[in-house]
Amino acid sequence: MEDKLDDSVRNFLFYQTSKRLPFIQRAKGIRMWDEAGKEYIDACSGAVICNIGHGNPRIERAIREQAKKAFFVYRTQFENQPAVQLAADLVKFSAPHLDRVFYVSGGSEAVESAIKLSRQYFYNKGEGSRYLFVSRVPSYHGSTLGALALTSYAPLEIPFRAMIQSYPKIPAPYCYRC
């Protein structure tokens, strides 16, 4: 694939802005370079679960080796060694009462799963009327409908308000002299 793309091809991506974003050609560690060679520090990847840096050779090697064996197995049908071993390691380093691991693919799915887990807990206890969640203003919890219901960022939530549950939101603490 060519490194340079025709502008008409770049218009197929859906963004929340019409502003042309920097087109990153390469990245290493925390640094990224656009097609003109301008360097950026990647200060946003941690928010979208890529906080290990770019081009980490250990990660690249582990992905390559696992891809040769089995790249993905679905948790309701199969198990594999890396998933079981990582779960055991996570439990080992967690508080004693945290003895189970539930994998998800990203932040929005993690928030959705936490919402469902909390709801299931109270439902199973016979407290089915407990279904509200409180979140803060401002906040961002993800882009799925459940996570969006907890988000407090108008440009993201307004188009979907008719589709989502309304939850109470409280202001974040004001930490002027913390």
| DSSP codes joined into one string, 102-159 | ---SSHHHHHHHHHHHHHHHHHHTT-TT-----EEESB---SSHHHHHH-B-HHHHGG
pLDDT number for residue 91: 98
Domain boundaries, given as residue ranges, for the chain: 23-55, 58-92, 107-171
Query: What is the pLDDT at residue 96?
Result: 94
Give the CA distances from residue 72 to residues 77, 89, 101, 114, 116, in Å, rounded to whole numbers and listed in that order: 11, 19, 17, 23, 24
Amino acid type, 115? I
Q: Tell me, yes or no, if the pTM score tops 0.95.
A: no
CA 35/CA 39 separation, integer angstroms: 10
Summarised one tens digit per residue, pLDDT across range 44-57 is 876 666 677 888 89
- Distances in Å between the Cα of 175 and the Cα atoms of 87, 140, 178 are 37, 19, 5
Given a cut of 50, the residues of the chain with pLDDT beneath it are 1-2
Q: Is-contact 145 133, C-beta < 8 A? A: no
Give, for 171, the enclosing helix (H) or strand (E): strand 169-171
pLDDT at 105 (0 to 100):
84
**pLDDT at residue 151 in the model:** 92
Q: What is the pLDDT of residue 1?
A: 41
What pLDDT score does 27 carry? 92
Under a CB-based contact definition with an 8 Å cutoff, are residues 144 and 108 in contact? Answer: yes
